């Protein structure tokens, strides 16, 4: 299966967290950090708002909007 991938960065408590985002089926996006210690999976809900649907704990709620902005910027 072919997935669109792009590099992304999230802001962590100790600095930037670099990773790769995969655009999965049904509008789901999965961010995985380079060291695989952070996973964030987001998708739009029925009201077209980005929501975290899966991932590692703990996480910053701001990451959802930060990742969504990078997705929207790339028009993926």
State the pLDDT at residue 54.
97
Question: Is the Cβ–Cβ distance between 62 and 54 less than 8 Å?
Answer: no
Q: With a cut of 60, say whether residue 76 has pLDDT above it.
A: no
Q: What is the pLDDT of residues 25-48, one digit of tens each?
A: 889 999 999 999 999 999 999 999
- Residue 56, C-beta contacts closer than 8 angstroms, at least 6 positions apart: 37, 38, 39, 40
pLDDT at position 2 over 80: no
């Amino acid at each position: 299966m072919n997935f669109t991938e792009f590099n992304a960065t999230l802001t962590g408590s100790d600095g930037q967290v670099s990773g790769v985002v995969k655009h999965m089926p049904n509008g789901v996006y999965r961010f995985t950090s380079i060291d695989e210690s952070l996973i964030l999976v987001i998708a739009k809900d029925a009201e077209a708002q980005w929501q975290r649907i899966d991932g590692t704990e703990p996480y910053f709620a701001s990451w959802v909007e930060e990742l969504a902005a990078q997705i929207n910027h790339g028009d993926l």
